[in-house]
Structure 1
Amino acid sequence: MAMNTPRAARLIGIAALAGLAIACLLVLRPFISSLLWAVILAFSTWPLFAFLRERTRLSPSFAAAVMVAAMFLLVGLPIVLAAPTRREEIEALSTSIEGLLTEGLPGLGAWLAGLPVVGGWIRTWIGDAEFDLLGLAGLLRPHTGTITQQAVAVLLAVLSGIAELLLAIFLAFFFYRDGPAIAGRVKALMGRLGGETGIRMLRLAASVTRGVVWGLVGTAVAQGALTAIGLWISGVPQPLLLAVVAGVISIFPVGAPLVWIPASLWLLTQGQTGWGIFMALYGGLVISSVDNVIRPWMIARGADLPLLLTLLGALGGVLAFGFLGLFLGPVVLAVGFTLMLEFAGGAEDGPEAPSALPPAAL
């Protein structure tokens, strides 16, 4: 019995540590998503933080506060700029909404029916119907309960996402301030768990994350520029401001359509049916296609991974984990792909990830 005492004590200690780890996860569970976002924000903007400290000689805490304040401004400023503030803008917006509700989209049905090739089929399908939103509301009235529940769910999801983003920006302060120390401990832990392979996987994950960030930035710039071109051609007021808003919110899966869809509807309410249809087609076929082309290409280029692997990782990650999966998906597939190459004896042909951790941690 005495021989089993050390083993029993060790098992009890392991069980206690496992219980403590589970308890810690339960405590942190509501904040895991925000913590991961904070890590991504701090890591992706670390070169800017290091440049700020080098140029201004600020302390880590003060430089971190400057970075966090800049992020809050970056999130809030487009919302403030996009919101109508002048009396004339508010009255014009109110008039447009009232006209859309009462008059619908006059002439749109006749215009669609007059299209070549498909016009006859459209005329047979819609008849003499006009796009009257009040009439549509009457048809949807029996389903008001379901529509209301879905609308509330979407609103709560949006508010939850905004709150999560704001919390992540706040938490990023601590990762800026203590970044080198945290990175050093993570590197030591990975080295202890996996040796050189663990450290290499950590650097690969950092490289893929940086590639995803570059993909997001490239997508934002491209969608902002394409939105500006489309709005300017269509004659929508303030195309540059709306393009900036579209670029900022394009980091979300349905970001840019929140700009060009209302712009298309506004053109239709102004009687500019052709330009409204053009804006809708341009937005759906040109602006939104950037997500499927530029973003995967830049992610694969930044992380030095096969394009197909990156594309599947980004799309599958979003489906599995939500928007956070845009980062987690490529990282998981990249690490798994590299481990498979090493297991098969082909590590020398695998992607070489440059060191992307804070310099002080290396």
Structure 2
Amino acid sequence: MIHRPPAPNSANEQKIQRAASAVLYATLVLLALWIVREFLPAVAWASVFAIVLWPTYQAIEHRAWFKGRMTLIATLLTAAIGLLVLLPIAITAIQAGGEAHELYLWLRDAQENGVPVPDFVSHLPVGNRQVSDWWQANLTQPLKASPAMKSLHGDTIASFGRHFGARAAHATMTFGFMLVTLFVMFRAGPRLSATMMRGARRAFGPDGAQLLQRMAAAVRATVTGLVVVGLGEGVLLGAAYIATGVPHAALLATVTAIAAMLPFCAPIVFCGAALWLVIQGSLIAAAALAVWGFVVVFVAEHFVRPVLIGNSTRLPFLLVLFGILGGATTFGLIGIFIGPALMTVLMVLWVNWAE
């Protein structure tokens, strides 16, 4: 019997096979992403930190003493990120713990005796009578019997505590996996970088590698803009805290700087400080602090930060602003970095198409 070689597949069969292979690969990739979906935020944060610290990694790697010691470099950089995140939290917690006893005594006294109407209420330009009547009806009597506090019963507080504890545990777990992922990325080092560049060239041609580099530059510039602007807002508002007599001005300036690294979060801190001044009866100082804070935040968020990021990524002001705000709205905190990177891709594609 004579065995004939199988006839070559027709062009139509080859197209069907390629389409089936593409569907299979896409299905497997989507399935894998769905399986690891809980860990994607940790991977995303680790990627951001790796991109930002990559120039530092390369500078350390070129030192003679660190040559070839990838594990040591990865350990040092990962530990630095861990301390950078945990140290401010620890300092704030220690400071808050020092005030906890006084806060506990104040709350216990308010539960038993209520909170008297502050002096500043009588000096309000409008609505002083309405505010005073509401305060008298709800807060001057013992808070445990106050109508305003009836909703804060034990079950509500316990439910809030459980929810907060679950969120804190989830954030801690994400942070831990992020550090592990970051260590693995640094440990892979140049091999991982070279693999990604080869994959980009193979998938998208020579422009793919350039596009990947532009996206990394956008993420790095965004982080730089966030940190620089955050520190600047912390210094300017810290000076305002000192000038207006806000207690713990240095600690509050640190908290403000950290909050200011996130778009439009600084007002939460300085408005709280202004409210404290109002309660103390310093209405002019409170108004001055609030006005100064909003001026600083407006200039920083709408002009300084987009300019810093746009100059590094060669993005127009409007695309940077839309990228930061739209990314945060769509993806949450990590979207602050994803947004400008996607705007960079959009800009590159537009330029290439227009040419």
TM-score (normalizing by structure 2)? 0.79
Q: Is the 8 A contact 1:224 1:247 kept in 2?
A: yes
Q: How far apart, CA to CA, are the structure 1 residues paired with 2:116 and 2:296?
A: 27
Q: Is the 8 A contact 1:109 1:129 kept in 2?
A: no
Q: 1:36 to 1:205 in 2, by over 3 A?
A: same
Cα offset for 1:88?
A: 6.3
Identity of aligned residues (%): 26
In the other structure, the counterpart of 2:58 is 50
Instruction: State which of 187, 191, 198 in structure 2 corresponds to 1:177.
Output: 187
Cα offset for 1:245?
A: 2.9
Q: How far apart, CA to CA, are the structure 1 residues paired with 2:336 and 2:97?
A: 41
Matching residue's letter, 2:147? G
| 1:331 and 2:341 aligned | yes
Q: Is the 8 A contact 1:109 1:128 kept in 2?
A: no
| 1:103 and 2:115 aligned | yes
Instruction: State which of 266, 272, 285 in structure 2 corresponds to 1:275.
Output: 285
Structure 1 range deviating more: 316-325 or 288-297: 288-297
CA offset digits 1:59-117 (Å, max 9, x no partner): 1111111111121111121122222469864433434556777326612322322xxxx
Cα offset for 1:330?
A: 1.6
Instruction: State which of 52, 75, 78 in structure 2 corresponds to 1:68.
Output: 78
Q: How far apart, CA to CA, are the structure 1 residues paired with 2:303 and 2:117?
A: 33
Structure 1 range deviating more: 264-273 or 319-328: 264-273
Q: How far apart, CA to CA, are the structure 1 residues paired with 2:295 and 2:166?
A: 30
In the other structure, the counterpart of 2:3 is none
Q: Is the 8 A contact 2:70 2:189 kept in 1?
A: no
Matching residue's letter, 2:81? M
In the other structure, the counterpart of 2:139 is 134
Unaligned runs of 5+ in 2: 1-5
SS of equivalent residue, structure 2 residue 246: coil
SS of equivalent residue, structure 2 residue 118: coil
Matching residue's letter, 2:225? G
In the other structure, the counterpart of 1:311 is 321
Q: Is the 8 A contact 1:64 1:177 kept in 2?
A: yes
Cα offset for 1:247?
A: 1.7
TM-score (normalizing by structure 1)? 0.78
In the other structure, the counterpart of 1:299 is 309
CA offset digits 1:126-185 (Å, max 9, x no partner): 475548873797347469899997897677556544543443233111111213212211
Matching residue's letter, 2:351? L
Higher relative contact order (CA 8 A, sep 6+): 1
In the other structure, the counterpart of 1:356 is none
Q: Is the 8 A contact 1:227 1:287 kept in 2?
A: no
Q: Is the 8 A contact 2:315 2:347 kept in 1?
A: no
Q: Is the 8 A contact 1:219 1:295 kept in 2?
A: yes
Q: Which has the larger radius of gyration?
A: 2
Structure 1 range deviating more: 102-111 or 306-315: 102-111
Q: How far apart, CA to CA, are the structure 1 residues paired with 2:175 and 2:122?
A: 45
In the other structure, the counterpart of 1:29 is 37
Cα offset for 1:216?
A: 0.9
Q: 1:90 to 1:270 in 2, by over 3 A?
A: farther
Summarize the alignment of residues 79-228 of structure 1 with structure 2, pairs less than 5 Å apart: 79-84=89-94, 89-95=99-105, 102-103=114-115, 106-113=118-125, 119=126, 122-123=127-128, 126=131, 129-130=134-135, 134=139, 138-139=147-148, 141=150, 160-228=170-238
In the other structure, the counterpart of 1:236 is 246
Q: Is the 8 A contact 2:270 2:290 kept in 1?
A: yes
Cα offset for 1:268?
A: 4.1
SS of equivalent residue, structure 1 residue 103: coil
Matching residue's letter, 1:309? L
Q: Is the 8 A contact 1:37 1:168 kept in 2?
A: yes
Cα offset for 1:224?
A: 1.4
CA offset digits 1:203-236 (Å, max 9, x no partner): 2111211211111111221121123112111222
Cα offset for 1:301?
A: 1.6
Q: How far apart, CA to CA, are the structure 2 residues paired with 1:131 and 1:61?
A: 65
Q: Is the 8 A contact 1:228 1:242 kept in 2?
A: yes
Query: Cα RMSD between the aligned structures?
Result: 3.6
Cα offset for 1:289?
A: 5.3
Structure 1 range deviating more: 237-246 or 193-202: 237-246
SS of equivalent residue, structure 2 residue 247: coil
Q: Is the 8 A contact 1:40 1:209 kept in 2?
A: yes
Q: 1:72 to 1:90 in 2, by over 3 A?
A: same
Q: How far apart, CA to CA, are the structure 2 residues paired with 1:15 and 1:124?
A: 70
Cα offset for 1:306?
A: 0.6
Structure 1 range deviating more: 196-205 or 259-268: 259-268
| 1:290 and 2:295 aligned | no
Q: 1:202 to 1:234 in 2, by over 3 A?
A: same
Q: 1:232 to 1:255 in 2, by over 3 A?
A: same
Matching residue's letter, 1:22? L
Q: 1:224 to 1:302 in 2, by over 3 A?
A: same
